[in-house]
Amino acid sequence: MNAKYFFVSAVAVSALVVYFSFRQKDRSPKIKDVILIGGLDNRKGDKTLSEQKILLQQGFTHPINIIAFRYNDTKSALEYIRTKPNTRIVLFSAGCSVSKEVAEILKSNRESLNHLYIVEPYHSEGKTTKSVQAAVRLGVPTKNVLVGAYSASGMGIVENARPTPKCTPNHWCSLTEVGKIINTK
């Protein structure tokens, strides 16, 4: 009788160990890397690329590796994106000028366009506007386009875009907000 009780107890304990080890794996962060193509950083009042990375990191509840490129180094950024499948990509402000190119890379690599986030693009009917609209036509979900309250931060660039939640400092805080959105996926 004691051997039978011991055997049943051992099986139950083993089952619990297996169950909790799988649950622990489910809790580990699935997203480890994020590519950021930043906004302007050369004018008085602009945040540096390092500061933009910090703002994005603040949206995550776990450490994340953010690989950042300046808005004017898009050639290097696009080459890097080609080599990093299944990475989340954040295009911020001036960095949104390559929205179409990034969407085309993801599409040609048969990756999900849900991985691309277009954050507060400058909307003046110019290159950035056309690029963002083309990316959406290629299949980037409009909920992945975050827009501020004025056209210089994307308002009106595409229908059904997601408004950036109210936050401060205006415009820059949208990086933290998109980090929160990515973090919940």
Look at residue 123 in the predicted model and tell me its pLDDT: 84
DSSP structural state of residue 112? -
Structure token digits, residue 176: 């933290």
Look at residue 74 in the predicted model and tell me its pLDDT: 95
- Decide if domain 31-183 falls under CATH 2.60.40: no
Pick from 93, 92, 28: nearest CA to 63: 28
pTM for the predicted model, two decimal places = 0.84
Convert the pLDDT of each residue in 63-101 to its tens digit: 999 999 999 999 999 999 999 999 999 999 999 999 999
Give the chain's residues under pLDDT 70.
1-29
Instruction: Tell me the C-alpha distance between 179 and 166, whole Å.
Output: 15
Residue 110's alpha-carbon distances to 36, 104, 136, 140, in angstroms, are: 20, 10, 16, 13
Look at residue 23 in the predicted model and tell me its pLDDT: 46
